[in-house]
Structure 1
Amino acid sequence: MDRRWIPGNHFELLENGEEFFPRVFACIANAKREVIVETFILFEDKVGLQLQEALIAAARRGAQVDITIDDWGSPDLSGQFLGALREAGVRVHSFNPGPRPFGLRPHLLRRMHRKIVVVDREVAFVGGINYSADHLADFGPEAKQDYAVEIRGPLVAEIHRFCHAALAEGLRHQRGKRQWWRGRKQWRAAPEQLPLAGTADAIFVVRDNGLHMDDIERHYRIAIRAARKRIIIANAYFFPGYRFIKELKRAARRGVDVRLILQGQPDMAFVKTAAGMLYHRLLRYGIRIYEYCERPLHGKVAVMDDEWCTVGSSNLDPMSLVFNLEANVVIRDRAFTQILAANLQKLMCDACNEITAQDLGELKGWPLVQSFLAYHLARRYPRWASWLPRHVPRLLPAAPTTQGKPPLAAAFAGAKEKA
């Protein structure tokens, strides 16, 4: 794992679609040479149409425009929507498309879950926000609470280099030019200098099924191990592995104020159940748990002490830590960390309920069995998951949906929202 900190960056915290979408669309509107977008979900709603319009305008001005979507997360784009992009010269790539027998995607457990934008190798965006109207407050009670960052400075060159390598690798697999015995090439290369834009040190961290299988989790665990005062983790899908839970336990026992902000109004019913199975154990360790109850929490952010924080696409559950392709930025900067920490503190004070042992009641009977199984599943699932095949990811031109959803698709529609 490359732990090289890149200095001289500037970060802006963007909360929800109200702050994120205008900034992204404005940067694309000013693009002169190149736009690269990766997203898990792109819906053909008012947000998706705004993105389409911005990309088409950039392509018609002569910029090279590439957008990569996940075939599972964005399955229902029409021929008219995709055709307008292609006609303008936008290259639309679909991650691991293919037939869906009985409405099921064969590679469901290996998804392109990253949310990245790079414009002209000058500005980048990384976070957890997809291109869909449910990231806007006017969507209603189901509108998501989420975060992203706008990045300027030398780290942008690193993100740009990664996106180009991901495009090249996916297209090589499409053409069948990669033999099975060849290991995945490193995407990192000698840094290309960009002007310093601020004072923040940062690392761009990815999770894949090759050389970077546990990089994001490892950075979390290193920071937890180093924490001396506080840890605040806000994460939509919290069911980490045993080593992660063990580091939180050790931090709490050495006097660190450890707080988790989790979903109180989840977008999928099993989310609260899965996290709740660990509540008794976490509270016993001295970890404080807050459930965000204003609307579904979709964030994937954390703060450790006064200078370390992370924002990205990675949840803390088996899908993100073991299966999905993810991207986070890890930031070392006192001023930005204070901004994110203040935001999370306000969230805990204004929109969360703190969970206590009295709220949970006595753990006995079937709940006790569930808690026991959940705890030991957390210990074992990373090893079990490593036994599953790691298919070769492919990028193909995105194809429109030619008919309605397959018969069983409705049963799995909620899985798309877990982004």
Structure 2
Amino acid sequence: MAAEFKPGNRLTLLDSGTDYFPALLTAIAEARIEIYLESYIFAADEIGHAVAAALCQAAGRGVQVNVTVDGFGGRNFAADFLPQLTAAGVRAMYYRPEIGRFHLKRHRLRRLHRKLVVVDARIAFVGGINIISDDNAPPELRPHYDYAVRVEGPILADIHHAVRRMWEIVAWANFKRRFRLAPVSRPCCDIVGEQRAAFLIRDNIRHRNDILNAYLDAIDAAREEIIIANAYFLPGVRFGRALYAAAQRGVRIIVLLQGKTDHQLLRYATQALYATALQAGIRVFEYERSFMHAKVAVIDGHWATVGSSNIDPFSLLLAKEANVVVRDDGFGGELRSSLLAAIAHGARELPLEEQSRLPWHARLTRWLAYGLVRAMVGIAGYGQRHWNSREVRPKE
């Protein structure tokens, strides 16, 4: 399904938790009717406790507060927060809760990875930032580097519909009939700005490829520059073809990836593909200042996306994701400047010569990781080919 861009929005780029959590807590404090919050992680740290307290206070004012947390990413949520939230009148559920050691591993890969908040159907937050402190990490990974967007305007209708629909699905799956929704609030879809934007989700039914296709359409239309910053980057063959075609027609391409990671397997798998990308003229940087969790891109300074979707088979084929896509020179320019500053002050460019000099055992480790990741996706019921040039020829 093609992205439906709606004019008249006001979007505020939020850089990491430093910008995001003050804006989020202010919106929760001002809520009067309803709050929907979806998160993959809801950590028991200073941020998690601050957000939980704000939600409890909102429920105490009569606001209907609905919280959905992923059953794997937030598996400690029940012990850490559920009694406090339930006592205050907050309605909270798990998406696919873990069921001891016998939980099906295939289902574990299908997660609620969206990070969405909607307040009174008039303000929304979309991005990659979980409910967790930027400093909730080992010292060498602090602080988290990520993005979110504060949204007002016509696309609120689509975001509001998405969170209500998710709540209904999870309530039905968890047999929570008492968690019926309040009457639909009319989303505040008035024209409040000048930015054109679309809200995209990824699911396994009608919207399986919406985020992927939005990327591909923008890459195919690129004429000057593509900047992608993505925490877990293992693109499929269609994505790889699009990037190579753009490079061949002279588009400058920069890919910013993690230099410090919490998932070494995925990093090794991605590194297996570095040489092919560098040979095609794609510049690859690793962010080494701290832990990069971003999932954003800017193309020709005009098209931009911020969201929860990584460019890997887990996000693009398995997880529930949500991204905002923007066509606006001001927003695109702001995100581009932020990314270039991060590259200048915290990243290292990888030269092709360095990849060529890797010892055989290092290359073997990377290709074994690549094969293992592919096998894991296959176990989950899907096949996926990646962007190595030797795999570009077969038709999908």
TM-score by shorter chain over 0.5: yes
CA displacement at 1:269 relative to structure 2: 2.0
In the alignment, structure 2 segments of 5+ residues that lack a partner are 178-185, 384-396
Query: What is the alpha-carbon distance in structure 2 between the residues aligned to residue 339 and residue 358 of structure 1?
Result: 33
Bigger CA drift: 78-87 or 54-63? 78-87
Q: Equivalent of 2:238, from 243, 262, 270?
A: 243
Q: Give the secondary-structure state (helix, strand or coil) at the position aligned to 1:344.
A: helix
Residue-by-residue CA offset, 1:66-117 (whole Å, 9 max, x unaligned) = 0000010111135463112112111001001141226875621100000000
| Structure 2 letter corresponding to 1:157 | A
CA contact (8 A) 2:121 2:187 kept: no
Match of 1:97 in 2: 97
CA contact (8 A) 1:60 1:88 kept: yes
User: Is 1:335 the equivalent of 2:330?
Assistant: yes
Seen in structure 2, the aligned counterparts of structure 1 residues 300 and 386 have a Cα distance that, compared at 3 Å, is same
Q: Give the secondary-structure state (helix, strand or coil) at the position aligned to 2:58.
A: helix
Query: What is the alpha-carbon distance in structure 1 between the residues aligned to residue 13 and residue 138 of structure 2?
Result: 22
User: Is 1:356 the equivalent of 2:347?
Assistant: no
| Structure 1 letter corresponding to 2:259 | G
Q: Give the secondary-structure state (helix, strand or coil) at the position aligned to 1:97.
A: coil
CA contact (8 A) 1:99 1:105 kept: no
User: Is 1:259 the equivalent of 2:258?
Assistant: no
Write the mapping of 1:64-75 to structure 2, written as runs, cut at 5 A: 64-75=64-75
User: Is 1:217 the equivalent of 2:212?
Assistant: yes
Match of 1:81 in 2: 81
CA contact (8 A) 1:71 1:95 kept: yes
Query: What is the alpha-carbon distance in structure 1 between the residues aligned to residue 380 and residue 85 of structure 2?
Result: 38
Seen in structure 2, the aligned counterparts of structure 1 residues 107 and 385 have a Cα distance that, compared at 3 Å, is closer
Query: What is the alpha-carbon distance in structure 2 between the residues aligned to residue 102 and residue 383 of structure 1?
Result: 20
In the alignment, structure 1 segments of 5+ residues that lack a partner are 178-190, 390-419
CA contact (8 A) 2:307 2:322 kept: yes
CA contact (8 A) 2:75 2:97 kept: no
Q: Give the secondary-structure state (helix, strand or coil) at the position aligned to 2:250.
A: coil
CA contact (8 A) 2:122 2:187 kept: no
Query: What is the alpha-carbon distance in structure 2 between the residues aligned to residue 297 and residue 261 of structure 1?
Result: 9
User: Is 1:234 the equivalent of 2:229?
Assistant: yes
Match of 2:32 in 1: 32
Seen in structure 2, the aligned counterparts of structure 1 residues 111 and 43 have a Cα distance that, compared at 3 Å, is same
CA contact (8 A) 2:72 2:98 kept: no
Query: What is the alpha-carbon distance in structure 2 between the residues aligned to residue 80 and residue 317 of structure 1?
Result: 31
CA contact (8 A) 2:202 2:322 kept: yes
CA contact (8 A) 1:41 1:74 kept: yes
CA displacement at 1:2 relative to structure 2: 4.2
Query: What is the alpha-carbon distance in structure 1 between the residues aligned to residue 106 and residue 363 of structure 2?
Result: 34
Residue-by-residue CA offset, 1:172-225 (whole Å, 9 max, x unaligned) = 334499xxxxxxxxxxxxx96621111111111111111111111111111000
Match of 2:50 in 1: 50
User: Is 1:303 the equivalent of 2:298?
Assistant: yes
Match of 2:318 in 1: 323
| Structure 2 letter corresponding to 1:100 | G
| Structure 2 letter corresponding to 1:171 | A
Match of 2:117 in 1: 117
- Greater relative contact order, per chain length (Cα 8 Å cut-off, separation 6+): 1
Match of 1:159 in 2: 159
CA displacement at 1:285 relative to structure 2: 0.7
Seen in structure 2, the aligned counterparts of structure 1 residues 300 and 360 have a Cα distance that, compared at 3 Å, is same
Bigger CA drift: 240-249 or 165-174? 165-174
Instruction: Tell me the TM-score normalised to structure 1 length.
Output: 0.83
Query: What is the alpha-carbon distance in structure 2 between the residues aligned to residue 114 and residue 256 of structure 1?
Result: 31
Match of 1:131 in 2: 131
CA displacement at 1:275 relative to structure 2: 1.3
Aligned residues: 375
Q: Equivalent of 1:199, from 189, 194, 197?
A: 194
Bigger CA drift: 241-250 or 78-87? 78-87
| Structure 1 letter corresponding to 2:253 | V
Bigger CA drift: 79-88 or 138-147? 138-147
Residue-by-residue CA offset, 1:149-170 (whole Å, 9 max, x unaligned) = 1011111121011111111122
CA displacement at 1:386 relative to structure 2: 7.8
Query: What is the alpha-carbon distance in structure 2 between the residues aligned to residue 28 and residue 320 of structure 1?
Result: 28
**What's the C-alpha RMSD, in Å, of the aligned pairs?**
2.8
Query: What is the alpha-carbon distance in structure 1 between the residues aligned to residue 372 and residue 97 of structure 2?
Result: 31
Query: What is the alpha-carbon distance in structure 2 between the residues aligned to residue 352 and residue 132 of structure 1?
Result: 24
Match of 1:287 in 2: 282
Seen in structure 2, the aligned counterparts of structure 1 residues 118 and 369 have a Cα distance that, compared at 3 Å, is same
Q: Give the secondary-structure state (helix, strand or coil) at the position aligned to 2:141.
A: coil
Match of 2:41 in 1: 41
Q: Give the secondary-structure state (helix, strand or coil) at the position aligned to 1:107.
A: helix
